[in-house]
Amino acid sequence: MTLIRTTITAAMLALALPAAHAQAKLKVGLMLPYSGTYAALGTAIENGFRLYVDEQGGKLGGREIEYVKVDDESDPAKATDNINKLIKRDNVDVVVGTVHSGVAMAMAKVAKDTGTLLIVPNAGADAVTGPMCAINIYRSSFSNWQPGYAMGQVMAKRGHKNAVTITWKYAAGDESVGGFKEAFTKAGGKVIKDLTVPFPNVEFQALLTEIAALKPDAVYTFFAGGGAVKFVKDYAAAGLKGKIPLYGAGFLTDGTLQAQGEAAQGLLTTLHYADGLNTPRDNAFRLDYAKAYKLQPDVYAMQGYDAAQMLAIGLAATKGDPSKKAEFAAALQKAKIDSPRGTFTLSASHNPIQDIYLREVSGLENKKIGIASKALADPGRGCKL
Ligand code: BEZ
C-alpha cells in the first residue's frame, strides 16, 4: 500500500511539477503615466513593450506574459504606494517603469529593498545607475546626463560662448542641465543664468521675457511631453525663434512635432534615437510598430521595445526565472542589445552605453544629421553593485 502510494506520488510530481512551472505566467507590472503631461509617453512605452512580446508569440523565457497596469500620474508622492501594490498585492515578477525621474527614484528604492527586478524604460534619474544602482535594476533608456552632456559639446563647437538654461525644477531638468553645463564649461562656455519652473507648470511667459532681456548667445532646455509642446510654441510666439538659438535634449521635439508645427522647424537636439537612421533593424521596427498601432514610433516606444528585449535576454539565461539575479545580470552584462537605435551594451551600473545623435527638425521628423557623442557612457558616479 505504502509502495503504491509512494509510486503514485512520485509519478504525479514528475508530471505536475515541470508542467506547472512551464505554464506559470510571468507577471509584468507596468507602472507608467497614463494621465498628465507625460501620458502619451507612457502609452508609447507600453506599445513598444507589447510589440516586442507579441513578436515573440506572447512569451519570454518560455513564459506567457501577463500585464498588470498602474497609472503613476508622474507623482513622486504616490510612487512608493503604487510600486508596493504591484509587488505585494499583485505579486508581479518584474516592474517596468517609469517616465518621471522623481517617481523612478522612489521605485528604485523599493526595488532595491525588496530585490524585485526593475527595468526603467525612460526616467533618466542619474542616481538610478549611480548611488542607487543594484544587481536587479536596469535601464533601457539613458541617464539625464547623457543627452545634456552631448549637447554641451555641440553648442561649444558651434561657437556659442554663453548660454541661459531653462527647465522644470526636478531631477530630470536639473541633471540634464548639469550634463550640459559640464561639457559646455569644460569647452570654455559660460552659463549666465539657470531658469526654472516647477514641474509640471507651463507658465513660461515671465522667463521668456527674462531670456529676451539677457540676450544670451543660445538657450539650452529640457522639457518633454505636453510641456515641451507648449514651451516650443511659446518660445516662437515670444519672438525668440530665429533671434536666440534654442537647443535641447531631444525630448523637446520627440513625439511632439505634430502639435508643435512650424514653431519646431529647424531646432537642433541631441538624443539616443533619431529619424532617418535607415538601418534594416530600425526600418523593420518602424514598419511593425506602424502596422500594429497606426502611428510612427518615437524614442519612448523604442525604449519600451528594448525594455522587453532586455527582459527576454535575462529570462532566456535563467530559463524564465528572474529571481536568479546573478545569472540574469551576467547575461545582460555581456549582451549586445540589438536595438532600433543601433546596437548598445550596458555599463557596469546597467545604463546603456550608446551613440547620441545630433538631430534637426524637418517637417514631422527629427532627422539624424550626425553623431554628437559616440558610445557615450554615463559616469555612474557612486555606483557600488
Ligand atoms: C525624466 O523625468 O527623467 C524624463 C521625463 C521625460 C522625458 C525624459 C526624461
pLDDT in tens, 291-303: 999 999 999 999 9
Mean pLDDT for 247-269 is 98
pLDDT in tens, 18-34: 444 455 999 999 999 99
CA of 3 to the centre of ligand 1 (A): 63
Could you read off the pLDDT of 180-202 as tens digits, one per residue? 999 999 999 999 999 999 999 99
Q: How far is the CA of 37 from the centre of ligand 1 (A)?
A: 11
Distance 320 CA to ligand 1 centre (A): 30
Please indicate whether residue 271, judged by its CB atom, sits closer than 6 Å to ligand 1.
no
pLDDT in tens, 233-253: 999 999 999 999 999 999 999
- Candidates 31, 72, 73, 100: which one to mutate for ligand 1, based on the most atoms within 8 Å of Cβ? 100
Of 383, 184, 382, 363, nearest in space to 270 by CA: 184
Q: Is the CB of 86 under 6 A from ligand 1?
A: no
Count the alpha carbons within 13 Å of 12 in the hemisphere toward its beta carbon: 6
Predicted pLDDT at 23: 55
- Tell whether the model's pLDDT for residue 126 goes beyond 90: yes
pLDDT at 19: 43
Question: Which residue of 43, 105, 122, 300 sits with most ligand 1 atoms within 8 Å of its CB, as the best mutation to test the pocket?
Answer: 122
CB of 100 within 6 A of ligand 1: the answer is yes
Q: Looking at ligand 1, which residue's alpha carbon is closest to its atom 7?
A: 224
Mean pLDDT, rounded, for 61-87: 98
Is the Cβ atom of 163 under 6 angstroms away from ligand 1? no
**Index of the ligand 1 atom closest to the CA of residue 99:** 5
- Band of residue 17 on the pLDDT scale cut at 50, 70, 90: very low
Determine the 3-state secondary structure of 59 from DSSP.
Answer: strand
- Residue whose CA is at the smallest distance from ligand 1 atom 3: 123
Identify which of 105, 120, 251, 299 to mutate to test ligand 1's pocket (most ligand atoms within 8 A of the CB).
Answer: 251
Is the distance from the beta carbon of residue 51 to the nearest atom of ligand 1 less than 6 Å? no
Q: What is the pLDDT of residue 2?
A: 39
Which ligand 1 atom sits closest to the C-alpha of 300? 7
pLDDT, greater one: 12 or 141: 141
Distance between CA atoms of residues 104 and 110, nearest Å: 10
| Cβ 101 under 6 angstroms from ligand 1 | yes
> Residue 4 C-alpha to ligand 1 middle, in angstroms?
63
17 CA distance to ligand 1 centroid (A)? 43
- Please name the residue whose Cα sits nearest to atom 6 of ligand 1: 224
Q: Is 70 in the pocket of ligand 1 (CB under 6 A)?
A: no
> Residue 222 Cα, ligand 1 centroid: separation in angstroms?
9
- How do residues 208-219 score in pLDDT, each as one tens digit? 999 999 999 999
Atom of ligand 1 nearest to the CA of 103: 2
Using the atom order of ligand 1, give the atom closest to the CA of residue 249.
8
CB 257 within 8 A of CB 295: no
263 CB near ligand 1 (under 6 Å):
no
Question: What's 25's DSSP letter?
Answer: P
For residue 100, give the ligand 1 atom closest to its CA: 2
For the CA atoms of 374, 375, 381, 384, the dihedral, rounded to the nearest 10 degrees, stands at -170
Q: Which residues contact 245 (CB under 8 A, 6 or more apart)?
A: 160, 217, 218, 219, 268
Phi-psi region of 188 (alpha: psi -120 to 50; beta: other; left: phi over 0): left
Q: What is the pLDDT, as a whole number, of residue 127?
A: 98
* Cis, peptide link before residue 98, omega less than 30° from 0: yes
> What's residue 220's pLDDT?
99
Ligand 1 geometric centre to CA of 172 (Å): 6
Residues 313-363: tens digit of each pLDDT: 999 999 999 999 999 999 999 999 999 999 999 999 999 999 999 999 999
Assigned C-alpha cell, 59: 512569451
| Mean per-residue pLDDT of the chain | 94
| Spatial contact of 176 and 165, defined as CB atoms under 8 Å apart | no
Structure-block grid coordinates of residue 307: 525594455
| H or E element, residue 66 | strand 63-71
